[in-house]
C-alpha cells in the first residue's frame, strides 16, 4: 500500500492542473485609453419606486397640515371700509368773535343812566314826552345831574312833542371824538340817536373806549 501512495498523489496532481487549465478564460489585452463602464443589471429590480414615495410624502404632508390648518374656507370680507372723517382742530389763537349790539327795539320798561346821560336825553332818544318821564319817576326836571346807574321808568304811552325837533344836530354825519367823549355823550349830542346804532355802524366792541381824534360814522 505504501508503494502506490506516491503514484496516486502524482495522478491527482496532474488531474488538478488539467482541470484548472480548461476552466481559465482566454487572456484579452486591455484597451488603452478606454475606462471600463460599470455593469448595471437590467432590468433594474432593486430601484425604489420614486412616484410612490412622492405620493406617500404628499399624503403625509396633507395629513399633518390638516391637523394644523382649519378645514373651513377662509372668507375675505368684501364690505366697503367706512369713510374716515378728518377733523381739523380749530386754532387756539383766534380772536374772540365781535359782539355787535343792535338798536334798542321798542320801548324798555326801565333804563339805567350811563355817564353823561340825562332824563331829557332819554326822552328825546325814546320819543317820549319829558314831562311824562319826569312825572312817572317823581322828578321835577330841575335835577342837574343824576348818578350813573339811576334807573328810570319808561312810560309806554307817551310821545315827544312834534313841535320841537327831537334831533339836536342833523345826521347822518361824521363825528370827531373829543377828549372825555363816550358813546353815550355823543348819542345825547345828536339827541335822537341810539348809542347801540353808533356802536354797530363803527364795529366797536366793549368797553367802547374812544380816542381823541377818532372819526365815527353817525347814522
Task: Look at residue 185 in the predicted model and tell me its pLDDT.
Answer: 96
Q: Is the pTM of this model over 0.75?
A: no
Give a yes or no: residue 39 inside a domain: no
Long-range CB pairs of 43-47 (<8 Å, 24+ gap) are none
- 116 within a domain of the structure (yes/no): yes
Classify residue 175: in a domain, yes or no. yes
* 195 assigned to some structural domain: yes
State the pLDDT at residue 45.
47
Closest CA to 188 of 132, 111, 136, 135: 111
CA atoms within 13 A on the CB side of 159: 3
pLDDT tens across the length of the chain (219 residues): 555 566 567 767 766 765 554 445 444 544 455 455 455 454 444 454 545 554 566 565 555 545 544 555 545 545 554 555 544 555 555 545 544 445 556 799 999 999 999 999 999 999 999 999 999 999 998 887 899 999 999 999 999 998 899 999 999 999 999 999 999 999 999 999 999 999 999 999 999 999 999 999 999
Which CATH number goes with the domain that contains 136?
A: 3.10.350.10
Cβ(83)–Cβ(93) below 8 Å: no
Contact 164, 123 (CB under 8 A): no
User: Structural domain of residue 160, as residue ranges?
Assistant: 110-218
Residues 6+ apart with CB under 8 A from 216: 174, 175, 176, 177, 186, 198, 201, 202, 210
Q: What are phi and psi of 103, to 5 degrees?
A: -60, 150
Rounded to the nearest angstrom, the gap between the alpha carbon of residue 149 and the centroid of all alpha carbons in its chain is 50
- Is residue 10 included in any domain, yes or no? no
pLDDT at 142: 85
**Of the candidates 152, 116, 151, 112, the residue with the CA atom closest to the CA atom of residue 132:** 152
Residue at 157 is within a domain: yes
Assess if residue 119 is contained within a domain: yes
Structural domains counted in the chain:
1
Amino acid at each position: 500500500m505504501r508503494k502506490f501512495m506516491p503514484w496516486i498523489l502524482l495522478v491527482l496532481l496532474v488531474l488538478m492542473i488539467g482541470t484548472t487549465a480548461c476552466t481559465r478564460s482566454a487572456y484579452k489585452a486591455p484597451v488603452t485609453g478606454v475606462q471600463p463602464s460599470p455593469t448595471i443589471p437590467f432590468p433594474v429590480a432593486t430601484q425604489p419606486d420614486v412616484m410612490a414615495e412622492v405620493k406617500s410624502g404628499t399624503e403625509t404632508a396633507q395629513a399633518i397640515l390638516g391637523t394644523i390648518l382649519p378645514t373651513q374656507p377662509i372668507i375675505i370680507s368684501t364690505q366697503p371700509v367706512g369713510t374716515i372723517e378728518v377733523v381739523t382742530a380749530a386754532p387756539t389763537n383766534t380772536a374772540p368773535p365781535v359782539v355787535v349790539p343792535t338798536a334798542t327795539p321798542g320801548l324798555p320798561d326801565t333804563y339805567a343812566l350811563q355817564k353823561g346821560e340825562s332824563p331829557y336825553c332819554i326822552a328825546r332818544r325814546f320819543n317820549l314826552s319829558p314831562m311824562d318821564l319826569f312825572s312817572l319817576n317823581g322828578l321835577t326836571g330841575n335835577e342837574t345831574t343824576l348818578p350813573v346807574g339811576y334807573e328810570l321808568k319808561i312810560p309806554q304811552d307817551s310821545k315827544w312833542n312834534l313841535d320841537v325837533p327831537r334831533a339836536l344836530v342833523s345826521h347822518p354825519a361824521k363825528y370827531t371824538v373829543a377828549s372825555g367823549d363816550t358813546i353815550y355823550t355823543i348819542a345825547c349830542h345828536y339827541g335822537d340817536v341810539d348809542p347801540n346804532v353808533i356802536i354797530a355802524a363803527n364795529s366797536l366792541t366793549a368797553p367802547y373806549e374812544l380816542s381823541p381824534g377818532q372819526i365815527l360814522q353817525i347814522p
